[in-house]
């Protein structure tokens, strides 16, 4: 006969421990749910408004689930933002700036992590300073510098003693990004430095012993190991350059193909924005240009259009992005 196992006696200490764990777990999940709601509620609200029929806006029965689904708001918002033009233009610009920042900050971060040279501490202090000092403080000197661009006095030698006016030229933003003075470049250098310092030096030393040169070791050994750091910096650079218009507003204010420029300009006066596209809207649409609820709904839909590419990007790279943040030492 098989003896039945007697249930273990639950002591008061074990019960108290179990109860404490249950309470802490409940508090943890409650906090996560509340934070998730605070973050996701505005996005979900914009999505619901975007697919709600204009005639149902403001109804208590269409707050989270529309009575009638319609893509009229989506179509009108795309016309207001000129989305077919501004989306690819902004995407190409952001990717170009991101790649320039990646190359520059990658080389700088590796140099600070592995190479030893005179003045290294002073230069790295300057890098940290660019992180601590707000960009608004140094952007005015940059503006004045590019208004009379002399390149160490060389340009006046070939331009009748005058410098070049580089303002209102998008090439200035690319130049700043390529030379390590783009948006948040100091932070990216720091992330790469921490990433490379976390790699075992034995890998590079073994490659040198096998006869690999500096460039081959860097491209074949170091870069593959720095994948999470590359994704982290690339994601941050893409998101911040996508959302930021400070550099463009200073150096290329006439840019009409930037999505953020268009969004800020059009949502500043939704009545004018709706009137500008009224002739392009199909006749069977419920077009309520003078209705404040309708204006607010189209404005929210425009904001959703700006946000969607960033959400898609994060969903693609979220796993590697989190790994890169952990390895860079900037957690918290």
> What tens digit of pLDDT does each residue of 140-184 get?
888 888 888 877 777 777 777 777 787 777 778 888 888 888 888
Q: Which two tokens stand for residue 239?
A: 């998101």
Please state the domain extents for the chain: 13-62, 73-328
Q: Which two tokens stand for residue 236?
A: 């941050």
Q: Residue 300 has what pLDDT? A: 92
Phi, psi of 69 (to 5 degrees): -85, 140
Residue 322 has pLDDT above 70, yes or no: no
Closest CA to 105 of 215, 195, 212: 195
Lowest-confidence region among 83-97, 110-124, 131-145: 131-145
Q: What is the pTM of this model?
A: 0.82
Task: Provide CATH code, domain 73-328.
Answer: 1.10.3720.10
Burial of 219 (0-12, 13-18, 19+ CB in 10 A): exposed
Percent of the chain with pLDDT over 70: 93
Residues in the chain: 332
Average of per-residue pLDDT across 126-140: 83
**pLDDT tens digits, 198-245:** 888 888 888 888 777 778 888 888 888 888 888 889 999 999 999 888
d(CA 161, CA 164): 10
Which is higher by pLDDT, 1 or 250?
A: 250
Average pLDDT, the chain: 83
**pLDDT tens digits, 16-55:** 778 778 888 889 899 989 988 888 888 888 899 999 988 8
d(CA 213, CA 211): 6
Structure confidence at residue 106 as a pLDDT band (50, 70, 90): very high
Burial of 272 (0-12, 13-18, 19+ CB in 10 A): exposed
d(CA 2, CA 181): 77
Structure confidence at residue 301 as a pLDDT band (50, 70, 90): very high
d(CA 256, CA 81): 11
Q: In whole angstroms, how large is the CA radius of gyration of the chain?
A: 27
Structure confidence at residue 250 as a pLDDT band (50, 70, 90): confident
Q: Residue 126 has what pLDDT? A: 87
Phi, psi of 199 (to 5 degrees): -85, 140
């Amino acid at each position: 006969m098989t003896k039945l196992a007697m249930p273990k006696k639950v002591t008061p200490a074990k019960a108290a421990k179990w109860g404490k764990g249950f309470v802490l777990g409940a508090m943890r999940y409650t906090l996560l749910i509340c934070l998730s709601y605070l973050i996701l509620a505005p996005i979900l609200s914009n999505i619901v408004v975007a697919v709600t029929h204009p005639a149902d806006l403001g109804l208590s029965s269409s707050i989270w689930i529309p009575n009638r689904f319609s893509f009229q708001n989506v179509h009108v918002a795309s016309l207001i933002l000129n989305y077919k033009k501004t989306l690819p233009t902004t995407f190409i610009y952001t990717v170009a700036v991101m790649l320039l920042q990646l190359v520059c900050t990658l080389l700088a971060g590796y140099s600070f992590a592995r190479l030893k040279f005179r003045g290294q501490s002073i230069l790295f202090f300057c890098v940290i300073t660019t992180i601590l000092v707000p960009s608004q403080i140094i952007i005015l000197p940059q503006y004045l510098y590019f208004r009379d661009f002399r390149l160490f006095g060389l340009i006046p030698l070939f331009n009748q003693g005058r410098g070049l006016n580089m303002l209102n030229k998008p090439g200035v933003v690319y130049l700043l990004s390529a030379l390590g003075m783009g948006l948040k470049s100091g932070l990216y250098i720091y992330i790469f430095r921490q990433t490379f310092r976390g790699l075992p030096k034995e890998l590079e030393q073994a490659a040198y012993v096998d006869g690999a040169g500096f460039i081959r070791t860097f491209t074949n050994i170091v870069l593959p190991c720095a994948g999470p750091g590359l994704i982290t910096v690339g994601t941050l650079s893409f998101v911040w350059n996508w959302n930021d218009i400070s550099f463009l507003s200073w150096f290329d204010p006439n840019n009409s193909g930037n999505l953020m420029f268009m969004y800020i300009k059009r949502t500043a006066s939704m009545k004018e924005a709706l009137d500008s596209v009224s002739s392009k809207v199909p006749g069977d649409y419920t077009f309520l240009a003078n209705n404040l609820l309708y204006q607010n709904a189209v404005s929210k839909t425009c904001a959703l259009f700006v946000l969607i590419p960033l959400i898609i990007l994060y969903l693609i790279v979220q796993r590697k992005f989190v790994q890169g943040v952990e390895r860079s030492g900037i957690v918290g």
